[in-house]
């Protein structure tokens, strides 16, 4: 089923309003398969933004997500840094994020931890500078 440029634009504008930015993959999916893009958005929203009784807080979900991004070395996406920043906005402490990153060392190695630590430090420096 083909979608109009208007539908694609509305979808991307909604993402931008909700997330502050549009990930590159949604740009492609909106043009090529808007229905799938909507389902991916819904899944990601449910996983990252739904808090259940006695479950993980949304801040903790962002910490986990950031660590997974570091573990699989998605260095060019910016997702790990985004999730660290979101966790902080939602009340996570810098130490909680740092300790979660430290847990990466035994299963996936020091190099992946170093990547996460670099991003964490960038965020901490920006906070100190007030940006």
Residue with more model confidence, 82 or 125: 125
Q: What is the pTM of this model?
A: 0.72
Neighbours of 86 (CB within 10 A): 21
Report pLDDT for 47.
84
What are the C-alpha distances in Å from 49 to residues 9, 52, 92? 23, 10, 15
Domain ranges of the chain: 5-49, 58-129
Q: What is the pLDDT, as a whole number, of residue 76?
A: 63
Buried b (16+ CB within 10 A) or exposed e, 51-80: eeeeeeebbbbbbebbbebbbeeeeeeebb
Of residues 74 and 49, which shows the higher confidence score? 49
What phi, psi does 53 have (nearest 5°)?
A: -55, 130
Q: Given pLDDT bands bounded at 50, 70 and 90, which one contains residue 14?
A: very high
Nearby residues of 119 by Cβ (< 8 Å), 6 or more positions away: 66, 70, 80, 81, 84
Here the tokens at position 26 are 């949604």
Could you read off the pLDDT of 82-118 as tens digits, one per residue?
A: 899 999 999 999 999 999 999 988 888 888 888 899 9
**Is residue 3 predicted with pLDDT exceeding 80?**
no
């Amino acid at each position: 089923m083909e979608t109009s440029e208007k539908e694609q634009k509305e979808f991307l504008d909604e993402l931008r309003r909700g997330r502050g930015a549009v990930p590159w993959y949604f740009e492609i999916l909106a043009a090529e398969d808007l229905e799938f893009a909507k389902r991916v958005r819904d899944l990601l929203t449910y996983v990252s933004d739904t808090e259940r009784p006695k479950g993980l807080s949304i801040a903790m979900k962002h910490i986990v997500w950031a660590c997974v991004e570091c573990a699989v070395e998605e260095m060019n996406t910016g997702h790990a840094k985004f999730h660290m920043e979101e966790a902080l906005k939602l009340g996570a402490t810098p130490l909680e994020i740092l300790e979660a990153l430290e847990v990466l060392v035994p299963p996936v190695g020091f190099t992946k931890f170093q990547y996460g630590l670099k991003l964490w430090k960038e965020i901490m420096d920006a906070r100190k500078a007030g940006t």
